[in-house]
Amino acid sequence: MADLKQTLTDIAKAVVNSPEDVTVTIEEDDDSIVLTLMVAPDDMGMVIGRHGKIAKNIRTMMKAAVAGTGKKMIVDIR
Answer whether 75's CB lies under 8 Å from 35's CB. yes
The pLDDT score that the predictor gives to residue 68 is 85
The pLDDT score that the predictor gives to residue 1 is 54
- Confidence (pTM): 0.91
Range of the domain at 44: 2-77
CATH code of the domain covering residue 52: 3.30.300.20
Residue 77 and residue 37: Cα distance in Å, rounded?
5
Per the structure, the count of domains in the chain is 1
Residue 23 and residue 3: Cα distance in Å, rounded?
14
pLDDT band at 13 (very low <50, low <70, confident <90, very high): very high
- Give the bridge partners for 75, in sequence order: 35
pLDDT digits over 19-74, tens only?
999 999 999 998 999 999 999 999 999 999 999 999 999 999 999 989 888 899 99
The pLDDT score that the predictor gives to residue 36 is 97
